[in-house]
Amino acid sequence: MKWGASTGGMDIVAMVLSRLNDKPLGTYFLTLNGVIILMAGVLYEPENALYTLLTLYVTTRVIDALHTRHEKLTAMIVTHKANELQQAIHNKMVRGITILPAKGAYSGEDKNMLYLVITRYELYDLEQIIADVDPNAFANIVQTTGIFGFFRREA
């Protein structure tokens, strides 16, 4: 599912809804399949439907733990090589970057801070870029709870 593959069925619809609305895949998977299971439970065997719903719930929690496309992270990178780092990031991923002046409190050195929001899937690439361009950079990565405004979903 991470790369858009599917086994067919309602997970295709769930994947489309997840991409359109940028919400967890498991939520849509549980809702769509849950409705079908509930209808089958009313028509046939309610006890089997309850066991199936329980299994479906566990499955969706696992899917949400593994499929993290909807999760956003904010990266704040303090570096002496802001221009090189910005160029390397833009060469690998399509993300807006804000560059802010920064000053080390202990050293008193003038630096820059790159501020950008990425998906959890892009974190590995960003870590590699930082290690290649400026291994001495300081990076703080934090979970982002919401984004208002434009954020490119498919980079």
Q: What is the pLDDT of residues 30-55, one digit of tens each?
A: 999 999 999 999 999 899 999 999 99
Q: What's the pLDDT band for 145 if we cut at 50, 70, 90? A: confident
| Rounded distance between C-alpha atoms, residue 152 and residue 107, angstroms | 37
Task: Using the predicted structure, report yes or no on whether residue 124 has a pLDDT greater than 90.
Answer: yes
Question: Can you list the domains of the chain with their CATH numbers?
Answer: 10-66 (no CATH), 72-144 (3.30.70.120)
Tokens read off for 103: 């000053």
Computed over every residue of the chain, the mean pLDDT equals 87
Task: Determine the Cα angle at 31 with ends 26 and 35, to 5°.
Answer: 145
pLDDT the model gives residue 2 = 54
Q: What's the pLDDT band for 74 if we cut at 50, 70, 90? A: very high
Residue 37: count of CB within 10 angstroms of its CB: 19
